[in-house]
Structure 1
Amino acid sequence: MKYNNIVKGKFLERPNRFISYCEIDNNIEKVHVKNTGKCKELLIPNSVVYLEESDNPNRKTKYSLISVQKNDRLINMDSQVPNKVVYEGLKNNKIVLPELDEEIIYIKPEKTYENSRFDIYLETENKKAFIEVKGVTLEDNDIVMFPDAKTERGVKHINELIKASNDGYLSYIIFVVQMSDIKYFTPNDKMHKELGDALRIAKKNGVNILAYDCNVTTDTIEIKDEVKVVL
């Protein structure tokens, strides 16, 4: 996954979840934030950020905030990119799905099942699978967690995956860690224990729970390695 027209800036403030103000070439610009999570540990005043400049003259904001420098680590915080990264990872065999021991012959983004729309649907000759993708940007001492805010929608998706698993589909949750060199992934029970409990129940019901970190540069992000999941 590659971005175009990346520029370096300095984060100033975020008046709401969609908008921030950044300094770019000594000018203060209104910037679109491509992540509705809190991201308080990332968007700290004067942090170095990287933004994608749009060539669409009709956009209300000229720039979108893509990544932020946190100490020595560059973290991608674009919440729209994890699905694309997983899709690419499946296509180029960087992501290996347990129980899926046949060649993928059909894959498509987004498919409705019951009351949820899962991020990826795929088929082999004999199997059908749903994948739900979650982006992870919250890190503390090289341990990454999800979520950084309560997400009832996330709990709903997990419960629907349990039903799909019980109905004979292969079911997967893939946590895309939007950074590299981390120790392990774990649910953020302090923030939303209900989601952590749902993940633990899902695992007992046959849902595969995976996490992959990413190689992140100022203008690219791609799947790197599978990382340990601690539930």
Structure 2
Amino acid sequence: MKCKFIEAKFLRELKGRFLCEIDIDGNIELAHVPNSAKLSKYIEIEDKNVLVVKNENPKAKTRYQLCAVETDDNHWIMVNLNLLNKIIAEYYEDNGCNVQKERILSDTYKSDLLIKDKNGEQIVCEVKGIIANTKDVIFPMYSGERTVRQLEYFRRLLKTQRFSVKYVFVLLDNNIEVIYADKLNKEFVKHMRYCIKKQMQIEFFEVEIQDDSISAKKTVEKKFII
């Protein structure tokens, strides 16, 4: 997808969630951080070069949205989780699929994407963004209650055989190599193993950031160990 990136310097995260200060050509600006977690918990961010875009919503509280952070080895880590579903949907559309975004399938579950492939198969697609500056990552990173509820729904859905399910990991830092299931989260492990046994597909995508675009690229070089 096309993006009009603006280069800036990250100054600091603010106490309130979703806000940070950036420096654009010597001017200090507020920017929206489209990520519910404090980024400094996962990556080094202070005084880093960042990419931002202008907020298109005239009612937005900030003029800019944070998109990506440059690392010490000069590659970009995507931090804008609002773009995840868009770039994954674009990938499947470019590969001949029909994609619906945020389709409500039950009282308890709204799919990130509902895909109809070239053969007419309907696929529920759950998209998970993985942010870290390490090669190995534990998932889920938080308590995982919502993730467990989703897997419980996928168990029921897979039994009906009306839909297939894709569980998509989007690696926001392409240096991530292995995702380990959190063994302490026994409910997550139990339901994940069941869903995989029932043919739920695990897929990995990397994020490609160019001068004026951001896109998803499928990769088979990563591992999920459970």
TM-score bracket relative to the smaller structure: 0.7 to 0.9
1:77 offset after TM fit, Å? 0.7
| Equivalence for 2:202 | 209
1:176 offset after TM fit, Å? 1.0
1:228 aligns with 2:223: yes
User: Quick one: percent identity of the two aligned structures?
Assistant: 25
Distance 1:41 1:144 in 2: 10
| Equivalence for 2:30 | 30
Distance 2:104 2:57 in 1: 32
Distance 1:193 1:3 in 2: 41
Distance 1:194 1:221 in 2: 35
- 1:180 match: secondary structure: coil
| Equivalence for 1:80 | 82
- Would you say the 8 A contact 1:50–1:67 is kept in 2? yes
Q: How does 1:105-144 map to 2 (within 5 A)?
A: 106-114=98-106, 115-124=108-117, 125=119, 127-140=121-134, 142-144=135-137
Q: Which runs of 5+ in 1 are unaligned?
A: 94-102
- Check 1:145–1:4 CA distance in 2 against 1; reply closer, same or farther (3 A cut): farther
- Would you say the 8 A contact 2:103–2:113 is kept in 1? yes
Task: Give the length in aligned residue pairs.
Answer: 219
1:188 offset after TM fit, Å? 4.9
- Would you say the 8 A contact 1:30–1:63 is kept in 2? yes
Paired AA for residue 101 in structure 2: P
| Equivalence for 1:66 | 67
| Equivalence for 2:21 | 21
Distance 1:6 1:193 in 2: 44
Distance 2:188 2:146 in 1: 10
- Check 1:17–1:218 CA distance in 2 against 1; reply closer, same or farther (3 A cut): farther
Q: Over aligned residues, Cα RMSD in angstroms?
A: 2.5
- 1:111 match: secondary structure: coil
Bigger drift between 51-60 and 65-74 goes to 51-60
- Would you say the 8 A contact 1:144–1:185 is kept in 2? yes
Q: Which runs of 5+ in 2 are unaligned?
A: none
- 1:80 match: secondary structure: helix
Distance 1:144 1:220 in 2: 27
1:221 offset after TM fit, Å? 2.1
TM-score normalized with structure 2 length = 0.83
- 2:104 match: secondary structure: strand
Paired AA for residue 181 in structure 2: P
- Check 1:71–1:147 CA distance in 2 against 1; reply closer, same or farther (3 A cut): farther
| Equivalence for 1:53 | 54
Q: Going by fraction, where is strand more abundant, 1 or 2?
A: 1
- Check 1:196–1:82 CA distance in 2 against 1; reply closer, same or farther (3 A cut): farther
